[in-house]
Structure 1
Amino acid sequence: MAVFASGSGTNFEAIVQAGKAGELDAEIGLLICDKPDAYVIERAKQFSIPFVMLKPEQFPDKAAYEEEILIQLNQENIDLIVLAGYMRIIGQTLLQAYPNRILNIHPSLLPLYPGRQGIADAYKDGAAETGVTVHLVDQGIDTGPILAQEKITVESTDTLETLEEKIHTLEHMMYPRVIEFYIEKLKKEQVRT
């Protein structure tokens, strides 16, 4: 599988560690990153995972950018894409090449609080609970079919920072488990066909 990330890479590292612990039966063949200064690149180097840094602004349009990503994915025989803090909307080029094979994790209980600021939006709204959603990616923003959700209570003592910490801790436990579940589901479907 390939992981796409734009930031520090804590979910990327949680996925790598789950693989090393035997909790995830998948090889991370590639990291795709769109930010040259993202710390996730350092994490990939630490774990000796190949990475490609592609800046979208170096391409004439989204389709050309995603065509280059496809070339990289095909070279590594990637079967599944896992978004882990990738801050770009996936376009038709990748959606058509990987139908029902792109997963995303989002820090809210979708359909509530989609978009970039899911944790902050729930906190500002005074939500009594929030959580984490893992879903398949479609052409919308955080609108694809939901694979799993887990809730947490927003305590009266929570600050935005403590809520973020609780959400990220839950993400790191949940995402590898849901990825493994989905990989097993895909394997069973392949056996049937």
Structure 2
Amino acid sequence: MLTVAVLISGTGSNLRVLLEAARSTDFPARVVAVGADREAEGLAHAEEFAIPTFVVPYERFDTREQWGAELDEQLRVWQPDLVVLSGLMRLLPPDVVAAWAPRLINTHPAYLPEFPGAHGVRDALAAGASETGASVIVVDDGVDTGPILAQERVAVLPGDTEHTLHDRIKPVERRLLIDVIRRVATGELDLSFPRT
């Protein structure tokens, strides 16, 4: 059984879908802990599913590196096979990436390498793109530049707003995330989990 830790910053809607999938007896992974960089609304999902939570508030540290060191320490308590960034709106320091990659994955609401960064949906609309998408990647030291594990196109419709387009991307993003975790758990997708 693949063990997963999830890191969030906000409402945890992707986390919720993962927790529901993991509740199924035929899903080959389970969430062992949920962490956040603030008192995030999405922690309530973990509590509802009786999943332990932890918070490492970014603002309590002088540097991103100090914050990352504490986050890494918290993750090591749970020794997950995989760490999923699910709406964590903060770049991880290189030391944390080095400690967990390639067992560190993220979702992104664009068809990477198109429209990386915090505003992928807005940027696709601003560029006048006719399509965008959703991606699941291995986290590296760049901004949405890691190896792509899965992605799918989503059309941009006439009259789309950032909200309506993002609402159509989210279900695709969630389905891809669940599928990637399932494939990692069954060995179909090999991330070669090196222990550090």
TM-score, shorter chain, exceeding 0.5: yes
How many matched pairs?
189
Aligned counterpart for 1:30 among listed residues 22, 33, 54: 33
Aligned counterpart for 2:22 among listed residues 19, 24, 27: 19
Letter in 1 for 2:178: P
Letter in 2 for 1:18: A
Range 166-175 or range 142-151, more displaced? 166-175
CA distance in structure 1 between the partners assigned to 2:111 and 2:168 by the alignment: 14
Judged with a 3 Å threshold, the aligned counterparts in structure 2 of structure 1 residues 57 and 19 are, in CA distance, closer, same or farther, namely same
CA distance in structure 2 between the partners assigned to 1:60 and 1:184 by the alignment: 41
CA displacement at 1:140 relative to structure 2: 0.3
Q: Please, what is the CA RMSD of the aligned residues?
A: 1.8
Judged with a 3 Å threshold, the aligned counterparts in structure 2 of structure 1 residues 131 and 17 are, in CA distance, closer, same or farther, namely same
Structure 2 gap ranges (5+): none
Percent identity, please.
Answer: 35
Correspondence for 1:46: 48
Higher helix share: 1
CA displacement at 1:133 relative to structure 2: 0.6
Letter in 2 for 1:146: I
Cα contact 2:38–2:58 (8 A) shared by 1: no
The two structures have a TM-score, normalised by structure 2, of 0.89
Correspondence for 1:161: 163
What's the CA shift string for 1:44-63, capped at 9, x where partnerless?
A: 11111111111112123222
Structure 1 gap ranges (5+): none
CA distance in structure 2 between the partners assigned to 1:104 and 1:188 by the alignment: 14
Letter in 2 for 1:4: L
What's the CA shift string for 1:99-119, capped at 9, x where partnerless?
A: 211000000011111111101
Letter in 1 for 2:120: G
